[in-house]
Structure 1
Amino acid sequence: ETIEKLADCLETATLLEDRRAGVLSLKGLVRDWPEEVGNKSFPGLIKVLHTDYKDVDITKSLLETITILCTVQHQQDKDDKGFKFTDYFIEDSRNVTILLDILEEFDFYVRYNTIKLLSTLLANRSKRIQECILTNPMGISRLVDMLDDKRDIIRNEGLLLLIGLTRSNTEVQKIVTFQATFEKLLAVIEEQEGISGDIVVQDSLTLMHNLLRYNVSDQVYFRETSCIQQIPGLLGYVGDSDADHVPYSFEDWPPQKIANTVLVLQLIRILTEPDSSSTPINQKVMVQSGILLPIVQLGLCSNAPSIVRTEALYSIAYVV
């Protein structure tokens, strides 16, 4: 009965304060009674999301409540309430569009909760979310802008969302690429000290893989914006014989550095796939950029882990 009254409040209340109080109360109930809250109040929650999204307090609570409702507890259960409420939410693409509009709000919790909800929806129904986002290309621009957010958590969560969004969808990949995404990712990697950086470097390289693999137009963009020339720098070699560079044979190889290095070497191979129309010119630019020296060094480095040496030798074969 309490849930019914609160749901009715969302639909009929004329004062923002009343709707805010209703949303806060439902948020307090949703963890213990998700099915009941969702069944009775989901239409009202969506309605308030559209009418009051510029109010930070109500939006934070709305996003958190809807995320809980759409979270799947049992992936194997097709009747899981998370799938049911996800399908209800994404049936109208405007519900996804409003989330992209909400990303304009700078408040930490609004941005964080918006990204978490989009990630939840994407995990449940990736193809439909990609379709919805393609109806609003400006929305993709807002997602990519998260890479510029100085708050690490927002940037990192935005990065993970983009990785999921660009998987297996060429059109999304193209739009993401043309938001200067490669430049942003390379800046993030440089800020993290290249292959010596943390998991954020791995995620940045993974997104680059998604955008470049089998996507000729994105490879052209990558090449024409001089990103290929930055690959030697990712490996810690800057093409200067007088540079203060520790030889690879004296370097430590913690697990994260191994993972990052392997991803850079695989990136080289993605750009030089046999039979790809862009491979000959990519190879030429790579050789001119001095990429062979660092990967030959890695391939012959006695101290490097065997997986790094193997990947480096493969990369040499692809480049030449």
Structure 2
Amino acid sequence: MTSTLLDDRRDACRALKALSKKYRLEVGAYGMDAIRTVLAGDRPDSEIVGYALDTLANICSPQVFTEEERPELGHECLLHVGEQFTEIFLKQSDGVSLVLSFLEEYDFKVRWPALKLLSALATNRLRDIQEIILVSPMGVSKLMDLLGDSREVVRNDTLLLLIQLTKGNANIQKIVAFENAFDRLFDIITEEGYSDGGIIVEDCLLLMLNLLRNNTSNQNFFKEGSYIQKLGPMFDLPQESNEDALWSPQKVSNIHCVLQVVRALVSPGSPGQVTLTCQYLLMAAGIVQALCRILMASGVPVDVLTEAICTVGESIRGNSANQEFFSTVLAPFTPPKEAIVVLLMSMVNEKQPFVLRCAVVYCFQCYLFKNETIQAQLVQTLLPSTTEVSNVTCGQLLCSGLFSHDSVSNWFSSVCLSHALIENPVQKEQLLRVLLAATAGNPPVSLLHQASLLLQQCGKVQSKVGLLMLLSTWLSHCPMAVKQFLSIPTAIPYLTTQAGSNERDENEELVQGLCAFLMGICVLFNNDSVASYTKENLRHLIGNRVGRENFVSKLSEVSRHEQYSKAAKQPQPRAANSEELLLDHEFCKLFKALEGMIIKAVTSSDGGPGGGGSGVVARYKDLIRDQDRRLAETQATVLRLQQEGAALESRLEEAAAHVARLTDENMLLRAQVGSCFNVYLFTIDKT
């Protein structure tokens, strides 16, 4: 490697490449610096540069090669060899820049190994490579140029590398997008045949997804560049009799990816104006219509159908024009049925896959979101009517699910009905008019009464939680609903018993907390029209039967529950299994808004049994003083721990640097010992 003759150095590099898979520990330990010198000094010779780059790519590879059979080292040690050599390579600041410069060479023997080496480095130390490429002059541009390479293997490996580099790095995402990435990706997708194409189409869509997800700048660039319209042909599903041919595994992957791209544009987490504009453009491009056709098509795989339902939901969420369009979509039945009715039929059918039912719930929530007209239409399907209704309605399906023996259907239906009432006091009062047929000889009972009875009778936590969320949403900000609820003889005694229970199961504590929350709503929105349960009477009842401190503690159990934090993060219900489905996103928002108001309303009494006013005030003053003292102690402790932590962090950094240095030295020593041992054996054989 240090020979003055180029031919000798080339032969040495060729030999090292041949050994670099089976003996990469030794090659890396002894040869890395020499190989780097060759790359810097012998650049004009493409052959020797290609050998050197291939050798480095093998040394830094994150995988264990089949040729590497080293029982003395062990498989676990070999797994980390590539990562350790990557760390050593990156210590030379110009190493990656040097490799990037070789991407400008068109020679396949140079460009492809350089690409493979960068991929290996990015796999092992992604953040470091991202930072180096960002500060490297034209680093991203050099990679983007490779997307136009006529050799498919180079283009495809470039795509894979860009997918890695754009993960979680908004700056690289922006640079890639403004380097005409979307034009180049759509050119490749068109060339490959859109959704009927191979895995390269999936890779293009995955890169597109990385560029768009949680990146408002790129989303604006995408919509302003008329790229949304270019997504349309991805949803052209040919009419074929052979469904297996139509939905090949790769076709499923491609459609699934493009659905995620659409969802990245209309995600509820994006700024409202961006989402709204993208929703209009999706409708104008015919993509919402195409999505609805997928929903109503036969033979669609469950995972594609599930993602399509969620995509339709987010494409119409909060957009009155798109929601109105969706209400007119008909399923191809005889006679035709509304698409939303067909979806709800799947939701209340316990034989359908759980993930599909969750998707329908989310879609239905999006359909109702901030649309008072559609909320009113749903409630109207439950109200008494003089005209005979021949077709099943959304309201009827939700009622059937509400009173089903399946707890998941109870939860779904409760949540869907509650979404018809969010920020809509008119419909809360209208829903009070809904009457349900009772047993023979008995008068009809109101839906509110029946839901209250069902809550008291059911034994499943999931059903109870669903009904409590429905009742809480219904009664909040609606004194008329509170009045009707308080008029049910068994309602308050049941809530009092539950809120005062001492059972310590986590989910039962959630039920107790929700019962306390519903009682608090009855205090907060009480107009004192029910003589036995005025605000003051309910305060006394809570003080006597539950205890005010216990009441506050029960309330706090809701927000401390594991499922609360999960549900509060995003509108879409997500659960690994049906047992985990407990709290709804919109309910969490309601709870957060009302919790403090309820505590104030319940604890503001000036007298009565269960704790007189002066006694309560004195106790709270003592409590505040105690909390102030504890806060001061805690602040002092935190300050001390921060100082200790800073000192420990400094020591840890020094130790980490020392360990890294020892690791490098150890690796070199092991390689040297192994080589000496081989020489010793060779000497014995000679003698």
Q: Same fold (TM over 0.5)?
A: yes
Answer yes or no: is the 8 Å Cα contact 2:62–2:79 preserved in 1: no
Secondary structure of 1:281's match?
helix
Q: Which residue of 2 aligns with 1:45?
A: 35
* 1:91 and 2:81 aligned: no
For 1:79 and 1:194, locate their aligned partners in 2 and report how far apart those are by CA, in whole Å: 38
Q: Which residue of 1 aligns with 2:12?
A: 22
For 1:213 and 1:158, locate their aligned partners in 2 and report how far apart those are by CA, in whole Å: 20
Q: Which residue of 2 aligns with 1:243?
A: none
Q: Which residue of 2 aligns with 1:35?
A: 25
Q: Which residue of 2 aligns with 1:315?
A: 311
Quick one: which amino acid aligns to residue 219 of structure 2?
A: Q
Q: 1:17 Cα shift?
A: 3.1
Q: After the TM superposition, which residues 203-282 of structure 1 pair with which residues of structure 2 at under 5 Å, given as runs?
A: 203-236=203-236, 246-247=238-239, 252-277=246-271, 278-282=274-278
Q: Which residue of 2 aligns with 1:107?
A: 107
Q: Which of residues 296, 302, 306 is equivalent to 2:298?
A: 302
TM-score, normalising length: structure 1: 0.88
State the Cα deviation string for residues 3-26 of structure 1 (Å, max 9, x = none). xxx4xx1xxx44433332332232
For 1:81 and 1:311, locate their aligned partners in 2 and report how far apart those are by CA, in whole Å: 40
For 1:45 and 1:125, locate their aligned partners in 2 and report how far apart those are by CA, in whole Å: 21
For 1:25 and 1:78, locate their aligned partners in 2 and report how far apart those are by CA, in whole Å: 21
Structure 1 ranges of 4+ moved more than 4 A:
73-79, 248-251
| Larger Rg belongs to | 2
Q: Measured at CA, do residues 28 and 275 of structure 1 come closer, stay the same or move farther in structure 2, by a change above 3 Å?
A: closer
Q: 1:249 Cα shift?
A: 7.7
Q: After the TM superposition, which residues 2-151 of structure 1 pair with which residues of structure 2 at under 5 Å, given as runs?
A: 6=1, 9=2, 13-73=3-63, 77=77, 80-151=80-151
* 1:159 and 2:159 aligned: yes
For 1:201 and 1:72, locate their aligned partners in 2 and report how far apart those are by CA, in whole Å: 25
For 2:307 and 2:193, locate their aligned partners in 1 and report how far apart those are by CA, in whole Å: 21
Q: Measured at CA, do residues 125 and 155 of structure 1 come closer, stay the same or move farther in structure 2, by a change above 3 Å?
A: same
Quick one: which amino acid aligns to residue 266 of structure 2?
A: T
For 1:18 and 1:293, locate their aligned partners in 2 and report how far apart those are by CA, in whole Å: 67
Q: 1:250 Cα shift?
A: 6.9
Quick one: which amino acid aligns to residue 265 of structure 1?
A: L
For 1:76 and 1:130, locate their aligned partners in 2 and report how far apart those are by CA, in whole Å: 27
Q: Measured at CA, do residues 220 and 78 of structure 1 come closer, stay the same or move farther in structure 2, by a change above 3 Å?
A: farther
Quick one: which amino acid aligns to residue 30 of structure 2?
A: K
Q: 1:300 Cα shift?
A: 0.6
TM-score, normalising length: structure 2: 0.42
Answer yes or no: is the 8 Å Cα contact 1:248–1:303 preserved in 2: no
Answer yes or no: is the 8 Å Cα contact 2:63–2:79 preserved in 1: no
Query: Which stretch has the larger CA shift, 135-144 or 66-75?
Result: 66-75
Quick one: which amino acid aligns to residue 17 of structure 1?
A: D
Q: 1:284 Cα shift?
A: 1.7
Taking only aligned residues, the RMSD between alpha carbons, in angstroms, comes to 2.1
For 1:29 and 1:306, locate their aligned partners in 2 and report how far apart those are by CA, in whole Å: 49
For 2:24 and 2:309, locate their aligned partners in 1 and report how far apart those are by CA, in whole Å: 54
Q: Which residue of 2 aligns with 1:241?
A: none
Secondary structure of 1:98's match?
helix
Q: 1:129 Cα shift?
A: 0.7
Q: 1:85 Cα shift?
A: 1.5
Q: How many residues align?
A: 302
Q: Which runs of 5+ in 2 are unaligned?
A: 65-74, 317-687
* 1:287 and 2:283 aligned: yes
Q: Measured at CA, do residues 228 and 76 of structure 1 come closer, stay the same or move farther in structure 2, by a change above 3 Å?
A: farther
Answer yes or no: is the 8 Å Cα contact 1:105–1:111 preserved in 2: yes
Query: Which stretch has the larger CA shift, 283-292 or 173-182?
Result: 283-292
Secondary structure of 2:94's match?
helix
For 1:20 and 1:255, locate their aligned partners in 2 and report how far apart those are by CA, in whole Å: 46
For 2:79 and 2:306, locate their aligned partners in 1 and report how far apart those are by CA, in whole Å: 46
For 2:284 and 2:119, locate their aligned partners in 1 and report how far apart those are by CA, in whole Å: 40
Query: Which stretch has the larger CA shift, 105-114 or 187-196?
Result: 105-114
Quick one: which amino acid aligns to residue 270 of structure 1?
A: A
Secondary structure of 1:103's match?
helix
Quick one: which amino acid aligns to residue 185 of structure 1?
A: L
For 1:214 and 1:273, locate their aligned partners in 2 and report how far apart those are by CA, in whole Å: 9
Query: Which stretch has the larger CA shift, 271-280 or 250-259?
Result: 250-259
Q: Measured at CA, do residues 302 and 249 of structure 1 come closer, stay the same or move farther in structure 2, by a change above 3 Å?
A: farther
Q: 1:149 Cα shift?
A: 1.2
